[in-house]
Amino acid sequence: MNILVVGGAGYIGSHMVRQLDLAGYKVVVLDNLSTGFRQAVTAGELIVGEMADQKLVKSVLSDHAIDAVMHFAACALVGESVAEPSKYYRTNVLATIELLDAMRATNVKRMVFSSTCATYGIPDVVPISEKTPQKPVNPYGFTKLVIERALEDYAHAYGFGFAALRYFNAAGASPLGGIGEDHAPESHLIPIVLQVALGQREHISIYGNDWPTPDKTCVRDYIHVDDLSLAHMAALERLELGKGLKVNLGTGNGFSVKQIIETCRDITGHDIRAIEGARRPGDPPELVADASLAKEVLGWEPQYCTPKPIIETAWRWHQSHPQGYDKETAKGSA
């Protein structure tokens, strides 16, 4: 099978590309390198361009005889989505509809879509199953939910087959080395804590110490990027035209901010300074997946079930690439 990975130069997409290549798929990557990196693409051909460019996408789909699209290209920061909703609706919704219509025009009707637990908003009950009502509380979550709905409508009207995979907190790096998490500016917990361990930051700010959780800090379900990728492959193999799968991807295990920091201290051997501060607007107290449907319908289970082995892979990446990808060559020609 020939797979187009849109956003394959980004954090999760680049791990997907590697896993597809290892499994023997032919991979083509489309990425505008707005947040991705040329060096993150370790297999297949990289085409630098916009997913909203229907002319380009149609020719890529036909020229490479693409069978299915995996779509990772999105803006994915909750706070930024509140401050700059236009950017989120344009990228996550408008450009994705262009991509879907280029697929429709070339009769490529299979898509695996990166969705998110942010589509659930602040759930009344945890763990979160796929039956939990989707009530997003920020533009990021809304934009992802809009595309889930569009995919359902495209399945019904045009015969698309799709999987919408609702990620919990993606973390870690490829144990094979060379690729990992690199955002500018970084806002995610684990990379920031590891940057403190590397001496690149003074401290980690804990966002809120008055949450209704056991140690009063927020609880999240951290899932390794390779586990996410393997679930995508399982979903790809199960796509059925005219139908959609909507599945949570998490481990089912929740860990608090304080537990993550403590685990990072154990792994790195560094005394990581943590300062308890104000809550971050928009953060739900606890997001943990009910991961049973993924097991049932994808036959998939995470290999990394606790933060320690996940963070160990992230720590190896951060030690070997303390500044992330080489920014000099990242955006330039190959």
Active site positions, annotated? 140
Cα–Cα distance for residue pair 235/308, rounded to 1 Å: 27
> Of all helices (H) and strands (E), which one includes residue 220?
strand 219-220
105: left (phi over 0), alpha (psi -120 to 50) or beta: alpha
Binding part of the chain for ligand UDP, among 46-54, 58-66, 82-90, 200-208 by CB under 6 A, reads: 200-208
Nearer to ligand UDP, 108 or 274 (CB): 274
CA dihedral 20, 12, 160, 89 (to 10 degrees): -160
Q: At what angle do helices 307-320 and 257-268 cross, to 10 degrees?
A: 60
Does 205 help bind ligand UDP (rule: CB under 6 A)? Answer: yes
In the complex, minimum distance from the CB of residue 257 to ligand UDP, in angstroms, rounded to a whole number? 4
Does 206 help bind ligand UDP (rule: CB under 6 A)? Answer: yes
Does 233 help bind ligand UDP (rule: CB under 6 A)? Answer: no
Binding part of the chain for ligand UDP, among 66-74, 129-137, 181-189, 247-255 by CB under 6 A, reads: 181-189
Cα–Cα distance for residue pair 264/266, rounded to 1 Å: 5
Cα–Cα distance for residue pair 226/276, rounded to 1 Å: 31
Between residue 82 and residue 101, which ones bind ligand UDP under the rule CB under 6 A? none
Report the chain's C-alpha Rg in angstroms: 19
Does 188 help bind ligand UDP (rule: CB under 6 A)? Answer: yes
Q: Which of 107, 187, 320, 323 binds ligand UDP (CB under 6 A)?
A: 187
Q: Which of 49, 89, 150, 207 binds ligand UDP (CB under 6 A)?
A: 207
Does 169 help bind ligand UDP (rule: CB under 6 A)? Answer: yes
In the complex, minimum distance from the CB of residue 47 to ligand UDP, in angstroms, rounded to a whole number? 29
Residue window 275-294: x/- pattern of binding to ligand UDP, with contact defined by CB under 6 A: -----x--x-----------
In the complex, minimum distance from the CB of residue 264 to ligand UDP, in angstroms, rounded to a whole number? 12
Cα–Cα distance for residue pair 309/184, rounded to 1 Å: 25
In the complex, minimum distance from the CB of residue 91 to ligand UDP, in angstroms, rounded to a whole number? 17
Between residue 105 and residue 164, which ones bind ligand UDP under the rule CB under 6 A? none
Q: Which of 144, 220, 224, 258 binds ligand UDP (CB under 6 A)?
A: 220
Three-class SS state of 151: helix
Q: Which of 3, 16, 192, 235 binds ligand UDP (CB under 6 A)?
A: 192
Nearer to ligand UDP, 34 or 187 (CB): 187
Q: Which of 68, 95, 218, 239 binds ligand UDP (CB under 6 A)?
A: 218
Among 182, 208, 206, which Cα is nearest to 318's? 182
Between residue 235 and residue 274, which ones bind ligand UDP under the rule CB under 6 A? 257
Six token digits for residue 231: 């679930």
Count of residues interacting with ligand UDP (CB under 6 A): 15
Cα–Cα distance for residue pair 265/267, rounded to 1 Å: 6
Cα–Cα distance for residue pair 297/152, rounded to 1 Å: 18
Query: Cβ distance 219 to 287 under 8 Å?
Result: yes
In the complex, minimum distance from the CB of residue 2 to ligand UDP, in angstroms, rounded to a whole number? 32
In the complex, minimum distance from the CB of residue 312 to ligand UDP, in angstroms, rounded to a whole number? 17
Six token digits for residue 110: 């299979």
Cα–Cα distance for residue pair 40/155, rounded to 1 Å: 32
Q: Which of 43, 204, 288, 314 binds ligand UDP (CB under 6 A)?
A: 204
Query: Cβ distance 9 to 44 under 8 Å?
Result: no
Angle at 236 between CA 231 and CA 237, to 5 degrees: 100
DSSP bridge pairs for 5:
29, 70
Contacts to ligand UDP by CB under 6 A: 78, 169, 187-189, 192, 204-207, 218, 220, 257, 280, 283
